[in-house]
Amino acid sequence: MWGNGSSPKARVLAALKRLGIRDLKTLNDFSDHRELLEPSATHPHGVPFVLRSPINGETLCEVKTASTIGLHEIRWRSEAAFTTWRMTPAPVRGEFVRRLGLKLREFKNELAELIVWEVGKIPQEALGEVQEMIDICDFAVGLSRQLHGLTIASERPRHRLMEQWLPLGPVMVISAFNFPMAVWAWNAALAWVCGNPVVWKPSEKTSLCAIGVHAIVKELLTEMPEVPEGIASLVLCDREVAKPDNWLWIKLISATGSTRMGYEVAKAARLTRTLLELGGNNGMIVCPTADIELAVRAIVFGAVGTCGQRCTTLRRLFVHRSRYQEVRHRLLNAYRTLPIGDPATPGVLVGPLIDEAAFQSMQEALEAARSEGGTVHFGERITNGVPAGGYYVRPALVEMPVRVTKAEHVASQHAAPTSEDLIGADVMSDPGLSIMDHETFAPILYMMPYTDLDQAIALHNDVSQGLSSAILTNDLREAELFCSAAGSDCGLVNVNCGTSGAEIGGAFGGDKDTGGGRESGSDAWKNYMRRVTSTINWSGELPLAQGIQFDL
């Protein structure tokens, strides 16, 4: 299924064919297949995308893209669909999502194959991503019967104060390459049951993954003619066309990507509602009582899974001095023997980086770490025993000198810190310039010893991002401190498990430069609705709030 000696191009075409897309001509035939790629035959196209597999750099195909002129049709279709969809009972909307979940189960292997060949994930991770789509569909179906408001006590006699949540309007989902399907599903499943059309702008690097999913959605729409076709649109376009200025009619922009991209979206979106899932730069603290066997497994999976290209990838590790050498030794052995190569090969755990630019960013970060006094283990490109043309690397473990927090650094400009203020020797002179402050989307794990948990937490929080965090300890007080207001400042705070692998039942997201958005479970559905407070007077009189008298 995952290889059989075939090229990535052959495998992608085979998977697409099973999804109903016969060949590349069909893929690019906008006249006959507007349902796959939304710009119509009468509209000019934008600059085409050349899609390549990170496995060996092979060109998979070229796809046409939308121009700004072609966006007008998307707007018309979405807004027209909204007028019908918003008045469709939520459980009926949930039935559409339920049946989508069934189709995702039916085509789970085909969708996972697209992820393997276009992203470079190993099959287990690709299958897990499709399972996330299935899970969020199940969650959303139940949610469709629980979109609740409140009844609030009124100060006026024979009045009822009521809060409702109503459909918001067209939602735009901008997804990143590293989770080319799941992030869209997190948003789309909830947006649909909440009564909104969804416009999907995927990463240009993973257009085929989006086309494969969209083909399934469009097939379902033909089977359910009562559902307006315009609730689902796919737009393949470059960054110029994707600028928020072209999408001011959208009611919510949900964007996943870099912090830089998030700032651009938030600034250009003006007063349009945004839901931002941005950089991670996630940290973990390993305490003296930690189960080291569990710790090593959590660290390695968190740091090297998806070749370090998850938003929840573990990037900073703080280990108590009493366990530092033990953890260091175990990690070096694990990194040295990691099976790296073609992700379709059984037993491989680490596939390629997405492209050459990712490799160059990794090397630049490692050089910066060396210049800061860091000791770099591994991180080199691998060319033997892997497909030519791909960017395969051995994940890097970097031992960094102990540093002070930025606040301590500022204080030190006025009064020199005492030895009790610092964690240990070899303290960096300017922590504000550390490469550890920046998220490099590659498998680099920075490692540092600590002696005091309060200081370790301060160092953990001393970055601009705030997505995922973890503490490994068997001390209840340490665990509770980390989960408290004085502990981790991230949106995801874990105890005795890694930073990766969030379940869909909880709200997913983080604070600070991570963007503050929350997707998936819990009450994240409220992002896709507007809140209305209504006062119903059934008294036959007109008493005013606050006891105001206004007699005519």
Which residues are annotated as catalytic? Answer: 277, 311
Please give the Cα distance from 184 to 463 (Å, whole number): 28
Is the separation of the CB atoms in 345 and 423 below 8 Å? no
CA–CA gap between residue 56 and residue 500 (Å, rounded) = 27
The residue type at 1: M
Nearest CA-CA partner of 387 in 7, 2, 92:
7
CB atoms within 10 A of CB 397: 25
CA distance linking residue 410 with residue 358, whole number of Å: 33
| C-alpha distances in Å from residue 265, one per residue of 210, 244, 245, 269 | 21, 6, 9, 6
Q: Which two tokens stand for residue 504?
A: 């869909």
Neighbours of 499 (CB within 10 A): 29
Closest CA to 380 of 428, 322, 466, 442: 442
> Cα–Cα distance between 482 and 220 in angstroms, integer?
46
How far apart, in whole angstroms, are the C-alpha atoms of residue 464 and residue 263?
13
Return the amino acid letter for 281.
N
Residue 235: name the closest of 70, 29, 60, 42 by CA.
Answer: 70
Give φ, ψ of 316 to 5 degrees.
Answer: -135, 130
Angstrom distance (rounded) from CA 80 to CA 432: 51
CB 44 within 8 A of CB 71: no
